[in-house]
Chains A and B, each alone.
Chain A
Amino acid sequence: MSSTGTGIQPPPPVIEAARSPVTAFAFAGRTKVLPILELALLIAASIAPLVLRDYITVYATRVLILCLFALSFDLVWGYAGILSLGQSLFFGMAGYGVALLSRDFGVGSIFAVLPAGTLIGFVAALLLAGFLLLGRHPSSVVFVSLGTMTGAYAADRLARGSHYLGGQNGIPSIQPMTIGSHELSEGPGFYYLVLTILVLIYLLSRFLLRSQFGLALAGLRENEQRIAFFGYKVQHLKAIIFAISGAIAGTAGSLYAFHEGFVWTNMLGVVMSTQVVLYVLFGGSGTLIGAVIGTAIVEGLSFWLSDNYRDIWPIILGVLLLLVILFRPLGLISLVLGERERVGHFGPSLKEKRNAAP
């Protein structure tokens, strides 16, 4: 492998589609794993609060919110090949935004704060994408990752230094979220609310990615130059998916703020955005369910291990991550999911698509 270790090359596809007809044929005949997996997880998630103790349900709610956050990163990295190391910027900004709404204006209605958080994430991501991705020269992956990381770092620093935003301590004791006159506190109610939102956004993303737009994105990830050659405006596609993912991160951030009852600078900073990279890589980028599974496993393990092995848990996490990157670059999901099914197919039939491909 060392023969190619020079200079800067165009980013090779991290995720290789199964190209050989033989593999494709082998998978075409099998039962589909993905829908079964999704359904099983949904059922498990639906009955979880009934069997879990209350404090674990609260923890599980947090995990679901983080799943939503992980989805947003998976959309940009797993599907469009944009390495956003500052995804927490949108998560945290939305969190701070709704916290301010609640603190300064007393707004806590779910119909106000969720759209507000989503909008904050969307606008912030759109602006950042407009700067980082659009322009005369196409931006390199390294530049975009550096730019997003700097964004998160800068936001973290500024929030820490700002009295208005509560400095180091963040904004504590946010009022509970309300639906009409009903106050939503931690527990099964909040859990099912988050689960519903997660499922809705999951389905929307799934629909989006299996559409014409998703097809163009998949092409973008596999071979950017070819897609540009076909006449797609590559940078626009990237900016759109980046903004969408920002909106999802914003939704997650506003939910998180109200669930935890406070926001603090870590939500904005590099710590949070590297955590989400970890979730997605662990579970498997390029599949929506991989992001969810990765988050659940990492958070589950940390819940279980951090009690007994608080000090060495982060080290274990690092080692596990390294092993996954080295030996399972497609994440844990690749253990059960075949190549063909992971990439998915678009349009009427596989055969047609392959004939149409150059």
Chain B
Amino acid sequence: MDTLVIAMFEILSFGAIVVLVVLGLGIIASMMGIFNFAQGEFVLLGAYVTYLVHSVGLPVPLGMLAAPVVVGSLGFVVEKLVVRRFYAAPIVAMLGTYALGLIIREAVRGLTGGLYLSVPEPISGSITIGSLHFAAWRGVIVIITLLVMAASHALLAYTSFGLRVRASLENPSLARASGISTGMIYSVTFAFGAALAGLAGALIVPVFSLFADLGIRFLIQGFVAVMVGGVGSFAGPVAGASVIGTFSAWLPWLMSPVIADVLVFVLAIIFIKFRPQGLISGRGVNR
């Protein structure tokens, strides 16, 4: 019974990490139709910013606050300079953002010297409930993920900014005719997606430690999750991420980690093959 609860917690916390990583990817893919191959590197950059703040002697939580801001600003600039040119050709966008990711990844590799660098957990130790111990930081990740998810949904569903984003998504020309600067909306949406990735990177760096290929690890996982969940809605990628995260954390309990890792992806691809629209085929943001 106790192991079961511990296992459930492990699965939950890993699922939360995947959701956090996928959320930004899903928002950019669903709201803008761009599959951002640099998303994994945005996660990496968030992790690096946190490490940087830590290494100059400032507290880690400060770095975690700085990461989304820095990565979001970079996302804003990148959208203005590069991604903007790709809206007419989503496939070229994949290649362009891939090149972008390559630049970020190799820059970080150069800066870290190809080492594995660790960042301490801001809240260490464990929470004890009865006879069970839970890693405190993983609990914090779960809580923050839930908060971020709720906040993102509220932002898109209930605020006037969200309304503008959805309007630009559904009918760009009408949105422009109604006085919405769609160009600006796209920049901000992309920056928002990047900031979420930055936050994800900052939160998970104590768990995974910092290395240059941190982003790749999550990139394929993220894409598979978005496709499984369904592109076009807010709930789709979240649902997909939950499913993929759960399976990725659960299967290694049953079989060797290597087989489990591969099996999750293969199953996901087979699922997408027979249900291309994903788990949730709706469009837009449900309120």
Contacts and interface: CB of A to CB of B under 8 A. Distances in A.
B96 A325 contact: yes
Contacts of B227: 142-143, 146
Given A1-B87, A157-B262, A6 B170 contact: yes
A11 B90 contact: yes
B95 A150 contact: no
A142 to B, nearest CB: 6
A141 B91 contact: yes
Given A6-B170, A83-B94, A322-B82, A270 B216 contact: yes
Please report whether the interface of chain B is mostly helix, strand, loop or mixed according to DSSP: helix
Given A9-B90, A137-B276, A161 B170 contact: no
B96 A322 contact: yes
Contact of A14 (B91, B106, B223): B91
A145 B262 CA distance: 17
Contacts of A315: 103, 106-107, 110
A284 interface: no
A151 to B, nearest CB: 8
15 contacts: A2-B84, A2-B183, A2-B186, A3-B182, A5-B172, A5-B182, A11-B91, A14-B91, A132-B273, A142-B35, A142-B94, A146-B227, A154-B266, A161-B258, A318-B100
A9 B259 CA distance: 35
A146 B176 CA distance: 33
B82 A326 contact: yes
Given A149-B220, A161-B258, A4 B172 contact: yes
Contacts of A150: 220, 224, 265-266, 268-269
B102 to A, nearest CB: 4
B32 A5 contact: yes
A68 B222 CA distance: 32
Nearest to B113: A311
Given A322-B96, A329-B92, 4 more contacts: A5-B88, A8-B232, A11-B89, A150-B266
A7 B87 contact: no
A109 interface: no
A314 interface: yes
A131 interface: yes
B100 A158 contact: no
Contacts of A14: 89, 91-92
Contacts of B216: 270
A146 to B, nearest CB: 6
A158 B266 CA distance: 12
B133 interface: no
A277 interface: yes
Nearest to A270: B216
A318 B183 CA distance: 26
A321 interface: yes
Given A9-B33, A83-B91, A154 B172 contact: no
Contacts of B18: none
A312 interface: yes
Interface residues of A, number: 49
A318 B269 contact: no
B170 A1 contact: no
Contacts of A139: 273, 276
Q: Which of A1, A6, A11, A158 has the most CB of B within 10 A?
A: A6
Interface string B259-275: 10110011011001100
A37 B52 CA distance: 50
Contacts of B134: none
Contacts of B223: 146, 149
A343 to B, nearest CB: 18
Contacts of A6: 32-33, 168-170, 172
B34 interface: yes
Contacts of A325: 92, 95-96, 99
B90 to A, nearest CB: 7
B256 interface: yes
B172 A2 contact: yes
A131 B176 contact: no
B99 A4 contact: no
Given A135-B273, A143-B276, A150-B224, A1 B84 contact: yes
Given A2-B172, A7-B232, A321 B99 contact: yes
Nearest to A313: B106
A329 B103 CA distance: 18
B87 A158 contact: no
A4 B182 CA distance: 10
B102 A5 contact: no
A147 B269 contact: yes
Given A161-B258, A315-B110, A326 B88 contact: no
Query: Which 10 pairs of residues, A with B, have the shortest CB-CB distance?
Result: A5-B87, A161-B258, A318-B103, A314-B106, A318-B102, A322-B99, A321-B99, A154-B262, A315-B106, A150-B265
